[in-house]
C-alpha cells in the first residue's frame, strides 16, 4: 500500500498467542499472559491449544484489530522512536473464560487499561510488518505541533476586590 493510499483511519488484523502456566501462589491455580502477536492467523479456531510442555500451555487466542487514527500519530511516533517499539495486548478474564479485550500500538491507550482490575496487559515486540505499516501511517498523517507556552495575564489589582492602599 503506498503512502498516498493510506486512509486517515486504518484497521489492521493481527493474531494473538497466549500462554497459561501454573500459578505460584495458593490463590491462583494458573496464570495467563499474552505471548506473541502474529501478522497472520494460523488456520485453527480461537483458543485452540497449540503446545503443552512442563505444565505450560500455548493457545492461539484468536484475532483482533489494531486501529490507527491520524489524531494519535504523536503517540505512534513516540512508540516507533523507542529503543524497542511495542504492541500492547489486553486479555480479560470473564465468566465465560479468557478473552482478547484490545490490541494497541498507542502507549497512552495501553496505559488506560492498566486501571482495570481484571485486565492483563502485556507489552510485546512490535512485529516487523506492522512496524513498517505504522511508520508509513505516521509519515503520511503526522503533523508536528509547535509547543506554545501559555503566558499568564497580569491581574488587575482592582479586579481582585481589594482597594489600593493609600
What confidence score (pLDDT) does residue 32 get? 93
152 in a structural domain: no
What confidence score (pLDDT) does residue 150 get? 79
156 in a structural domain: no
Show pLDDT as tens, one digit a residue, over the chain (166 residues).
444 566 778 899 999 999 999 988 989 888 999 999 999 999 999 999 999 999 999 999 999 999 999 889 999 999 999 999 999 999 998 888 899 999 999 999 999 988 878 889 999 999 999 999 999 999 988 777 777 777 777 777 666 665 555 5
What is the C-alpha separation between 76 and 108, in angstroms, rounded? Answer: 9
What is the C-alpha separation between 108 and 79, in angstroms, rounded? Answer: 10
150 in a structural domain: no
Percent of the chain with pLDDT strictly greater than 70: 89
Mean pLDDT of the chain: 88
Q: What total of structural domains would you count in the chain?
A: 1
108 in a structural domain: yes
Give CA separation, 50 vs 74, 98, 126, in Å: 37, 16, 22
What confidence score (pLDDT) does residue 6 get? 66
Provide CB contacts within 8 A for 165, sequence distance 6+.
none
159 in a structural domain: no
Residue 138 grid coordinates: 505516521
| Strands of 119-125's sheet in order across | 97-104, 86-94, 119-125
82 in a structural domain: yes
Range of the domain at 61: 10-142
What confidence score (pLDDT) does residue 63 get? 96
What confidence score (pLDDT) does residue 165 get? 58
**Which conformational region is residue 64 in: left (phi greater than 0), alpha (psi within -120 to 50 degrees), or beta?**
beta
Backbone angles phi, psi at 47, to 5 degrees: 65, 30
3 in a structural domain: no
- CA angle 50-52-57, nearest 5°? 80
What confidence score (pLDDT) does residue 62 get? 95
Amino acid at each position: 500500500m503506498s503512502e498516498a493510499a493510506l486512509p486517515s483511519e486504518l484497521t489492521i488484523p493481527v493474531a494473538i498467542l497466549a500462554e497459561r502456566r501454573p500459578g505460584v501462589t495458593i490463590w491462583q491455580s494458573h496464570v495467563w499472559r499474552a505471548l506473541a502477536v502474529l501478522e497472520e492467523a494460523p488456520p485453527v479456531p480461537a483458543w485452540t491449544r497449540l503446545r503443552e510442555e512442563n505444565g505450560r500451555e500455548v493457545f492461539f487466542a484468536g484475532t483482533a484489530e489494531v486501529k490507527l487514527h491520524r489524531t494519535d500519530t504523536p503517540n505512534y511516533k513516540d512508540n516507533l522512536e523507542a529503543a524497542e517499539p511495542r504492541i500492547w495486548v489486553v486479555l480479560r478474564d470473564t465468566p465465560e473464560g479468557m478473552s482478547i479485550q484490545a490490541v494497541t500500538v498507542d502507549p497512552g491507550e495501553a496505559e488506560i487499561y492498566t486501571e482495570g482490575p481484571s485486565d492483563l496487559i502485556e507489552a510485546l515486540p512490535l512485529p516487523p510488518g506492522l512496524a513498517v505499516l505504522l511508520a508509513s501511517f505516521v509519515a503520511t498523517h503526522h503533523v508536528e505541533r509547535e509547543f506554545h507556552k501559555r503566558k499568564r495575564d497580569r491581574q488587575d489589582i482592582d479586579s481582585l476586590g481589594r482597594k489600593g492602599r493609600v
